[in-house]
Amino acid sequence: MRPRSLFDRFDAIDFAALLQTWCAILLCTGLVVAITSSNSSDLAFEDRDAGSPLVQLLTFAVYGPALLFILVRPIEFLKVLTRGWAGSLLLLLALTSVIWSVDPYVSIRRSIALVIAMIYVVHASSWFTPHRFIRQLALVLGVLVILSVIAAAVPGYGIHPNGPHIGRWRGVFMSKNTLGVVCGVACFTFASMLGMTPKPSRERWLWGSLLGLGGILILLADARTSLVALLAALAAIAAAKMIYLPNGWQKKMALSLRVAIVSAVTITVVVIQPIAAAVILNILGRTMTLSGRTHLWEYAINKGLDRPWLGAGFKTFWVDKLTLDLRVLHEHWSIDGETHAMTANAHDGYLDAWLELGVPGLALILIMFWIVARRANIALARTKDPMFLWYVGAITFVTFYYLTNSYIMKHNELSWFIAAYCYFSLAALRLPPARSAVRRAPRPALASAG
């Protein structure tokens, strides 16, 4: 009997879906834009009104085929879409904001691009198991980390050759900040893969080496926001592991004691430490402006109060029709020479969400993040599967990252891609019931003696 060949086992549809996933990840990392862009200026920022035709074409080319895959499994897609109600409502809000938008053309164009990208995310959530998706993400990001190290050997390519970021590493990307967020996501993904891989496996050496390499790249890039977000994500993974998956000396501690330790450390880092830093700076006669961001936030909030409930419309707060005078904007953004970068966003994702989609938009985003954090912890408690450590790290990373970055709800951006996937993929999972909810099967009656 003839043995089955490799081609007999080859699933063309599944391979095509996998190929689309690789392309989507590469597009979201900014690698494709870096390769195709002719503008390498350190001070360049996106056009406030117009979009890049090439990026629009690539967006449709990469995400468009998801519609064909949905036809193969339409029921699964609809289930994920309905279970992820908060994300679906957020997309609907972005689309309908064209009604009250400052610039309806910009809103409809960018909201359609976002919907197309999110359709792919919903498709990926219903098509791949989380284990498989996370592994593919780790492999693609691992290749990019290695390529970024090699790029440093190319003069004027892997390291900023001029401008305010001169000497900072940028790898195969256009800026150090892009390298920072890619390596940040890569590092907590590698850390999660370490937890998902059994200890006798040699594969652990691969993930451990890539984790160290990614961390070094963040330091060389001087990407401070990504570094802080990564440290928070790694701390969250370690805390979740201590509570739900203890090993060694941790097993000797009661659950309540482990929770108390994690809570005390969290309160110290998140609450007490920032207050102490502000007090010390006040004593020294200095203020915390976060490189001038607080001045920009004050300017944006004053503008946003004119449209507090529904916002200016999706991606239209910073268009010329509303904030035309960049020189005035630059005054608020750059005070005392702290920075000379021009801006077309608030440099705070949550503030931009409110400015664009008002209270409902910000509320839906916070609900999404809360659901991810809650379901990830519930899944860890019930299944003890280390895979869910990745969700803990991911939601922690994006939560901190958006405090000083405005890439929230951007269709070709890695952090939002990860945030949306976390939400919809957890919505697709059916978690096992809690132990207290599982009814014990009745014992069979004993046969009477005699």
For 230-262, the pLDDT digits (tens) are 999 999 999 999 888 887 766 667 667 677 776
46 is a domain residue: no
Helices (H) and strands (E) in the chain, counts: 19, 0
The CA-based angle 286-287-293, given to 5 degrees, is 140
For residue 67, which phi and psi values (nearest 5 degrees)?
-60, -35
48 is a domain residue: no
Distance, C-alpha 126 to centroid of its chain: 19
**What global pTM score does this model have?**
0.87
Q: How far apart are CA 140 and CA 418, in angstroms?
A: 14
439 is a domain residue: no
Instruction: Give the residue among 278, 398, 292, 412 at the shortest CA–CA distance from 350.
Output: 398
Q: How far apart are CA 151 and CA 157, in angstroms?
A: 6
Q: Is 305 helix (H, G, I), strand (E, B) or coil?
A: coil
Sign of the Cα pseudo-torsion (78, 87, 407, 399, in order):
negative
For residue 159, which phi and psi values (nearest 5 degrees)?
-130, 135
Please tell me the predicted confidence (pLDDT) of residue 70.
87
Per-residue pLDDT reduced to its tens digit, 263-287: 776 666 666 655 555 555 455 454 5
47 is a domain residue: no
Residue, of 172 and 292, whose pLDDT is higher: 172
Domain range holding 143? 13-32+59-430
342 is a domain residue: yes
Instruction: Give the residue among 353, 293, 290, 358 at the shortest CA–CA distance from 329.
Output: 293
Q: How far apart are CA 376 and CA 380, in angstroms?
A: 6
Total of domains in the chain: 1
Average pLDDT of every residue of the chain: 82
302 is a domain residue: yes
370 is a domain residue: yes
Q: How far apart are CA 309 and CA 322, in angstroms?
A: 17
Whole-number percent of the chain with pLDDT over 90: 47
Q: List the beta bridge partners of residue 159.
A: 169
5 is a domain residue: no
DSSP per residue, 248-276? GGGGGS-HHHHHHHHHHHHHIIIIIHHHH
Residues whose CB falls within 8 Å of the CB of residue 417, separated by 6 or more in sequence, listed in order = 24, 25, 28, 117, 121
pLDDT, mean of residues 168-184 = 92
Q: Both tokens of residue 243?
A: 């509570």
The answer, yes or no, to whether residue 20 has pLDDT greater than 80, is yes
